[in-house]
Homo-oligomer: A and B are copies of this chain.
């Protein structure tokens, strides 16, 4: 076994999910994630945790959902009980075909599994990660060995060190009132008054549930100006490129895309909340050095910023206050690692040309 698979399991179990002896764990193994499953099982055995191992297969899901009449009226008692009694859920993604559910009608896909099951799962110390497969390499346009290197560079970080670095940015955001993003064809301001940033350090201890992670995010309001996104994205199977959004008083008043404008229109016009930002995220994972058409990685790249239309995360809001609500949460990424870009908090330049003010090479 590639020693990096064991290292991946170590980070997942120890740093991310903080599994302890006696923990009741649901270990979800993707159809291509067997090898990581073996390494995680070994870790759980050594710790003395108790796994129930589930199988996450796009092919089984597709077969089930296409044959089903789509009436999911009752919450399956056994599935709900499994998650309600679980301390943690470790989801080892890893497909053999990343488009394996392409011909499942979207409304059926969205109604399953039951909302109560999803909530019970999210109520655990859950962490999602990805085992590199040939299918994901293909989606990224990369050779398999090259993609393995890419994934392990992103996952096998010094997370403690990165968490400390990200804390600096979180502190600045928490103390700040206004964020400004400047770039060619981009000049956008937003309020972050009374907002709490999340230091997403790939650990449940940081309220962060993806491995890799490595971003600091908050929930902005009162967005004004124009922003362009030069990183391509895939939304519900449709490619969208070169998105440009113009905001007034917090809401999108104009939008365009070079590719996939219809899909963008459907997104923006989903509901009232889909015209407003739910998230400002600032990527800080320097182990991610290229875009691979996988949001789990793309949005964490150090030197990028992403903005999401739609739903805001409660963790960013004052207690009792509800943020932007929407049926969607769609991330758009802009690459700040080019000349002439600036990220400002209250007019102080925090990042220039993709380099943070505390990093080597920063030009004040």
The interface of chain A, by Cβ under 8 A from chain B, is 22, 24, 26, 29, 31, 34, 37-39, 41-46, 48, 50-57, 59-61, 63-69, 71, 74, 76-87
Q: Which of the residues B42, B66, B74, B78 comes within 8 Å of A45, measured between beta carbons? A: B66
Inter-subunit contact A24/B78 (CB<8 Å) = yes
CB within 8 Å for A74 and B39 given contacts A45-B65, A45-B67, A68-B45 = no
Complex Cα gap A169–B38 (Å): 47
Min Cβ gap A89→B in Å is: 10
Which partner residue on chain B sits nearest A25 by CB separation? B78
Determine the chain B residues whose CB is within 8 A of the CB of A64 once the complex forms: 41-42, 44-45, 51
Determine the chain B residues whose CB is within 8 A of the CB of A77 once the complex forms: 24, 85
Complex Cα gap A37–B45 (Å): 27
Which partner residue on chain B sits nearest A71 by CB separation? B48
Inter-subunit contact A41/B53 (CB<8 Å) = no
Inter-subunit contact B22/A34 (CB<8 Å) = no
Inter-subunit contact A63/B78 (CB<8 Å) = no
8 examples of A-B residue contacts, CB within 8 angstroms: A34-B59, A41-B61, A45-B65, A52-B54, A54-B55, A55-B55, A78-B81, A78-B83
Min Cβ gap A88→B in Å is: 10
Determine the chain B residues whose CB is within 8 A of the CB of A69 once the complex forms: 48
Q: Which of the residues B26, B55, B68, B74 comes within 8 Å of A78, measured between beta carbons? A: B26
Q: Which of the residues B54, B56, B59 comes within 8 Å of A38, measured between beta carbons? A: B59
Which partner residue on chain B sits nearest A29 by CB separation? B55
Inter-subunit contact B53/A60 (CB<8 Å) = yes
Count of identical protomers in the assembly: 2
Which partner residue on chain B sits nearest A108 by CB separation? B45
Complex Cα gap A5–B37 (Å): 27
Complex Cα gap A49–B34 (Å): 27
Complex Cα gap A66–B22 (Å): 17
Complex Cα gap A79–B42 (Å): 18
Complex Cα gap A78–B124 (Å): 12
**Which one of A50, A51, A79 has the highest number of Cβ atoms from chain B below 10 Å of its Cβ?**
A50
Q: Which of the residues B26, B46, B79 comes within 8 Å of A67, measured between beta carbons? A: B46
Which partner residue on chain B sits nearest A80 by CB separation? B85
Complex Cα gap A46–B85 (Å): 29
Complex Cα gap A25–B329 (Å): 33
Min Cβ gap A35→B in Å is: 9
Q: Which of the residues B45, B63, B78 comes within 8 Å of A52, measured between beta carbons? A: B78
Min Cβ gap A338→B in Å is: 45
Min Cβ gap A343→B in Å is: 44
Which partner residue on chain B sits nearest A88 by CB separation? B78
**Which one of A41, A42, A51, A64 has the highest number of Cβ atoms from chain B below 10 Å of its Cβ?**
A64
Complex Cα gap A57–B92 (Å): 15
Min Cβ gap A205→B in Å is: 22
Inter-subunit contact B81/A55 (CB<8 Å) = no
Inter-subunit contact B68/A48 (CB<8 Å) = yes
